[in-house]
Amino acid sequence: MKFFQLLGGLVPLVGLVAGHPTCNHECNRGCWSNGFDVLSDWESKWPITGKTNIYELEITEVDEWVGPDGVVKHGAMLINGGFPGPVLRGNWGDRFDVIVTNKLKYNGTSMHWHGLHLWNNNINDGVAGITECPIPPGASKKYTFIATQYGSSWYHSHISSQYANGIVGAIQIDGPASYPYDQDLGVFPINDWYYDSVETILQRMMDPNNPYRPGSPGSPPESDNILFNGTNINPNGPGGEYAKVRLTSGKRHRLRLINPSADNTFTISIVGHTMTVIEADFVPVQPYDTTEVYLGVGQRYDVVINADQPAGAYWLNATLSSNGFCGSSKNPYPAAIVTYEGFEDSIPTDPGVAPVDTYCADDLSLRSLVPMSAPKTEFNPRPEDTLSVSLEVNTNISKVFWEVNGVPIDVSWEKPTLQYVLDSDLSFPLEANVIQLPDETVWTFWVIQNVSPIPHPMHLHGHDFLVLGRSELLPDPTQGSGPVFFDPAVDTEKLTFDNPTRRDTTMLPGFGWLVIAFKAGNNPGAWSFHCHIPWHMSQGLSVKFLERPDIMASKMDLPSIGENCNAWREYAPTNPFQKFDSGL
């Protein structure tokens, strides 16, 4: 029997489920509804509420947009006229109907629901060139999905790094939790912000002759600012305002941290306070206290903050790694303000102590409340199970690529992967980077080998994965002797197979290795596995797992992709700006 430290003392979770969602309250967040609680395995069952949440998202662009910090951003792309887009909120088991209308001048768009598994619903994953054709200007598309998971995440366009122009919003799926709290403060995205357009940045990053860092082809620019919940002051002059998190003395507050950045990763800390981590990437975890959490691009942490300090104002700091390999910013001290009642207008005076520098590494001590283990006896790494990540400068065409096993992905917007499946044609071009998983439910193991010094936040669509292990961290990979390769004879014993960290995004170390496992065959579709730095996606750092193509037509309405694809194919020849990157 599992016990949790609740406000009313130790209470067994078994038997607490009532027949109505109101059983979830501040003294018992583990309860949800009849037959469902925080120990329910959301991969095998979820409530069906019968409720549909309808949202309309209109994508527009403004060439010279005055951003949240008062500084002009070039080529901003906005959702419903602002940044970030509206929060998509509902309950565990709700249906979502989201109508996306493209009002961009020339560009296609799409919308992806980060971290949602979309069981038997790959057609709504929103990845241009894989699960759909882009939505052409002037057209709309309705996405439909059931929230089979609960927690915090975000949505974004998934085409040519476009989301870094501003096509981003948060998702909040209310459900049970592993720890008590009094108030839910909602989502709190923290992201880098660039005054140049994505197109300008990407053209320069792909040009080996004009890198942002001299001598480092493919290197990214510093972010111009860091935004907290869509706002911040201008660090170099007047404009903007601090984001504020308001606490009530003596109460516990749930805060949903999200990193929807393009490049920057952060260690989050609140001066004078501890946080209790209760969830990571939609996965409820065994609660633990900490003074800091590392947020890679695409990662989420739900934390509970106990307002037990003297009433006042405190900095919420987002600290970047000192080594510069996982982002840098022109804002030297990005921060928001945590305020208690009566101090809403106060500016903190104590800067706090710098958190431990993790050198771009996320926490692998997390343990899922719903245990999942991989069979060690089935782990037998073969060369075909290794994904080697490398940077390549192609001097013939003067272009910088990120490759997987020597090939940068290049998708076709006119013929996405699902079109091949619909046509019963599984003969893919090499640059499609398709890995076929035709078998019924089976554990798959993958060694990701990084032969570059740059770490990568690796994200999987359609599944969580188990992080079995990774190589030891190097504060500065460039100062070592080169890549550290996975050695099965030595490193297998270092892996954790029994309920290791489970999530959908984790960090691949620079010049190191990462081993993950996930159960394939139970969610048919074409699922992307990619670095979540959009620049790197555009430069090719992605593969796609084609899972059970033989049963896809019986599990989803594959022909439904045709209407939008026909509209895109009609528009594409007239588009004055043709695809110049991978398309992702």
Q: How confident is the model at residue 545 (pLDDT cuts 50, 70, 90)?
A: very high
What span, in angstroms and rounded, lies between the C-alpha atoms of 579 and 128? 12
Which pLDDT score, from 0 to 100, does residue 476 have? 85
Which pLDDT score, from 0 to 100, does residue 22 have? 60
Distances in whole angstroms, Cα of residue 513 to Cα of each of 55, 111, 220, 380, 389: 41, 31, 23, 16, 10
Neighbours of 527 (CB within 10 A): 27
DSSP state for residue 233 in the 8-state scheme: B
Cis peptide before 176 (omega within 30 of 0): no
Tell me the mean pLDDT in the region 73-86: 98
Q: Which of 84-88, 165-169, 211-215 has the lowest mean pLDDT?
A: 211-215
Tell me the mean pLDDT in the region 501-530: 97
DSSP state for residue 84 in the 8-state scheme: S
Chain mean position to CA 547: 21
**How far apart are the two ends of the chain, measured CA to CA in Å?**
46
- In sequence order, the 6+-apart residues with CB closer than 8 A to the CB of 32 are 17, 21, 23, 24, 38, 40, 47, 92, 175, 176
Phi/psi of residue 568, nearest 5 degrees: -65, -45
Contact call for residues 152 and 258 (beta carbons, < 8 A): yes
Radius of gyration of the chain (CA): 23
Neighbours of 344 (CB within 10 A): 11
Alpha helices (H) in 295-357, listed in sequence order: none
463-506: pLDDT as tens digits:
999 999 999 988 888 887 789 999 999 999 999 999 999 999 99
531 pLDDT above the threshold of 90: yes
Residue 55: HSE in the Cβ half-sphere, 13 Å Cα cutoff: 24
Which pLDDT score, from 0 to 100, does residue 2 have? 33
Strand duo 252-258 + 183-193: pairing: parallel
Which pLDDT score, from 0 to 100, does residue 283 have? 98
Which pLDDT score, from 0 to 100, does residue 20 have? 43
430-469: pLDDT as tens digits:
999 999 999 999 999 999 999 999 999 999 999 999 999 9
Contact call for residues 360 and 322 (beta carbons, < 8 A): no
Tell me the mean pLDDT in the region 310-321: 97
Q: How confident is the model at residue 13 (pLDDT cuts 50, 70, 90)?
A: very low
Contact call for residues 437 and 509 (beta carbons, < 8 A): no
Which pLDDT score, from 0 to 100, does residue 481 have? 79
Q: What is the mean pLDDT of the chain?
A: 94
- In sequence order, the 6+-apart residues with CB closer than 8 A to the CB of 15 are none
- In sequence order, the 6+-apart residues with CB closer than 8 A to the CB of 190 are 226, 227, 228, 229, 257, 258, 259, 261, 266, 268, 295, 318
What span, in angstroms and rounded, lies between the C-alpha atoms of 335 and 175? 29
DSSP state for residue 478 in the 8-state scheme: G
Neighbours of 579 (CB within 10 A): 20
Structure-model confidence comparison of residues 353 and 477, the more confident one: 353
Phi/psi of residue 330, nearest 5 degrees: -80, -10
Contact call for residues 190 and 206 (beta carbons, < 8 A): no
25 pLDDT above the threshold of 70: yes
Which pLDDT score, from 0 to 100, does residue 572 have? 97
Residues 320, 321, 324, 329, Cα dihedral to 10°: 10
Return the beta strands (E) in 147-282 as ranges: 151-156, 168-174, 183-193, 225-228, 244-247, 252-258, 266-270, 275-280
Distances in whole angstroms, Cα of residue 323 to Cα of each of 139, 174, 356, 363: 44, 37, 13, 18
Tell me the mean pLDDT in the region 13-33: 65
What span, in angstroms and rounded, lies between the C-alpha atoms of 393 and 475? 25
17 pLDDT above the threshold of 90: no
Nearest to 461 by CA among 1, 122, 129, 19: 122
